[in-house]
């Protein structure tokens, strides 16, 4: 199957890596082509899984065709839509196309297809989703990512809140970078308010977590209960204690503290990260992945026993950039 993924307009490299990581869970030989925010993936992939898992995307469709703008008439004449009724929606990806281009293309496509199908704007049998990037990409919509659910889980909407927590869509992307599958064990040894564990639990992972701060552990447990997520265990623990899970953990996703003495127990950040990488390597099974948000590129070199698979800068605000890194064991 060939899927057409409409990526969000933020952190494009990270969004692409997240989508390909989820695809790779089902098919390690997945192939991809990128046209800005339009990502085409080919492989043994269930598009419904992409809809349910992705954080940094807007929609997923079953790809029909890609073409130059002037070729769309002939391509529309060739396609067959499921059912008897349809509607057309367009998305302008980037600044190449104007709003009028999108409206005009939707109307034009509708006129061509209405010779064979009946328009139904409310409850159609199929929706033709057209992405306007450098080329025109068309597909039958499988589903849109429920972005409102991510907003509903923002830190300020949880029972226990802390201002430095990751946004849920970034926490979801961090989890997805590990390629953790349904039922696999994912560990967050710096769980904070539990945001990463929450996103992992919502996609079917078994979760382990802890934090050195008792208040965070209690708050994380409260947040997970609020969203009906039951972890295997969540406890007060120093990072080194997770070494006891020798090769037990399938994946690790974590957003460790990045310099405030209150969150590192006054331990130098470099020493803390070195211990963290060592403990994570011990706990992770062979072939497992660690996805971690780091405050600077220089910390990547502390992961001496891991292989770096990718690094994706994410600008949090003007004075802070986090580096979402993926390592494999």
Task: Residue 15: name the closest of 51, 46, 44, 39 by CA.
Answer: 39
Our count of domains for the chain comes to 2
Residue 199 and residue 87 in one domain = no
Q: What is the pLDDT of residue 10?
A: 86
Q: What distance in Å separates the CA atoms of residue 288 and residue 302, rounded to the nearest whole number? A: 18
287 Cβ contact partners less than 8 Å away, ≥ 6 residues apart: 328, 329
CA 116 to chain CA mean position, Å: 38
Residue 154 and residue 133 in one domain = no
Torsion of the alpha carbons at 152, 224, 209 and 182, rounded to the nearest 10: -80
Q: What is the pLDDT of residue 259?
A: 63
Torsion of the alpha carbons at 286, 220, 242 and 186, rounded to the nearest 10: -10
Last residue of a domain, one of 118, 145, 172: 145
pLDDT in tens, 59-117: 999 999 999 989 999 999 999 999 999 999 999 998 777 777 889 999 999 999 999 99
Helices then strands, each counted (H, E), the chain: 10, 15
Residue 125 and residue 183 in one domain = no
Last residue of a domain, one of 128, 145, 162: 145
Residue 130 and residue 181 in one domain = no
Length of the chain: 329
Mean pLDDT of the chain: 94
Residue 106 and residue 226 in one domain = no
pLDDT in tens, 141-164: 999 999 999 999 999 999 999 877
Residue 168 and residue 107 in one domain = no
φ, ψ dihedrals at 218, nearest 5°: -65, -40
Residue 120 and residue 8 in one domain = yes
Exposed, middle or buried: residue 148 (CB in 10 Å: 0-12, 13-18, 19+)? exposed
Q: What is the pLDDT of residue 77?
A: 95
Q: What angle do CA 142, 143, 145 make, to 5 degrees?
A: 145
**CATH number where 111 lies:** 3.30.2130.30
CB 60 within 8 A of CB 18: no
Whether residue 271 has pLDDT greater than 70: yes
φ, ψ dihedrals at 261, nearest 5°: -60, -30
For residue 262, what pLDDT band results from cuts at 50, 70 and 90? very low
Q: What is the pLDDT of residue 261?
A: 45
pLDDT in tens, 8-51: 988 999 999 999 999 999 999 999 999 999 999 999 999 999 99
Q: What distance in Å separates the CA atoms of residue 165 and residue 79, rounded to the nearest whole number? A: 46
Residue 54 and residue 183 in one domain = no
Q: What is the mean pLDDT of residues 155-183?
A: 94
Residue 157 and residue 221 in one domain = yes
**CATH number where 253 lies:** 3.40.50.150
Token digits of residue 205: 């992972």
Q: The domain containing residue 312 runs over which residues? A: 150-328
Residue 115 and residue 178 in one domain = no
Last residue of a domain, one of 124, 145, 166: 145
Residue 252 and residue 134 in one domain = no
pTM of the model: 0.95
For residue 258, what pLDDT band results from cuts at 50, 70 and 90? confident
Residue 140 and residue 180 in one domain = no
């Amino acid at each position: 199957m060939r899927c057409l993924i409409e990526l969000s307009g933020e952190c494009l490299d990270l969004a692409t890596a997240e989508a390909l990581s989820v695809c790779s869970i089902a098919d390690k030989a997945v192939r991809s082509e990128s046209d800005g925010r339009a990502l085409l993936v080919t492989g043994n992939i269930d598009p419904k899984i992409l809809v349910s898992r992705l954080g940094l995307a807007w929609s997923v469709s079953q790809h029909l065709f890609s073409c130059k703008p002037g070729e769309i008439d002939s391509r529309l004449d060739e396609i067959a839509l499921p059912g008897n009724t349809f509607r057309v929606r367009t998305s302008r990806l980037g600044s190449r196309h104007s709003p009028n281009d999108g409206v005009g293309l939707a109307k034009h496509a509708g006129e061509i297809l209405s010779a064979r199908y009946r328009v139904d704007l409310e409850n159609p049998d199929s929706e033709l989703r057209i992405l306007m990037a450098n080329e025109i990409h068309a597909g039958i919509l499988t589903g849109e990512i429920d972005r409102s659910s991510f907003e509903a889980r923002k830190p300020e909407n949880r029972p226990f809140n802390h201002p430095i927590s990751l946004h849920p869509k970034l926490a979801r992307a961090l989890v997805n970078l590990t390629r953790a599958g349904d039922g696999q064990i994912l560990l967050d040894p710096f769980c904070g308010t539990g945001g990463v564990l929450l996103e992992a639990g919502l996609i079917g992972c078994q979760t382990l977590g802890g934090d050195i701060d008792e208040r965070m552990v209690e708050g994380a447990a409260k947040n997970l209960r609020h969203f009906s997520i039951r972890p295997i265990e969540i406890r007060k623990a120093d990072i080194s204690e997770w070494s006891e899970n020798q090769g037990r953990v399938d994946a690790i996703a974590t957003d460790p503290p990045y310099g405030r003495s209150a969150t590192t127990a006054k331990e130098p950040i470099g020493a803390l990260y070195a211990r963290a990488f060592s403990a994570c390597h011990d706990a992770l099974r062979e072939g497992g992945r660690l996805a971690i948000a780091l405050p600077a590129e220089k910390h990547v070199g502390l992961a001496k026993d891991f292989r770096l698979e990718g690094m994706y800068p994410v600008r949090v605000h003007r004075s802070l950039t986090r580096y979402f890194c993926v390592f494999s064991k």
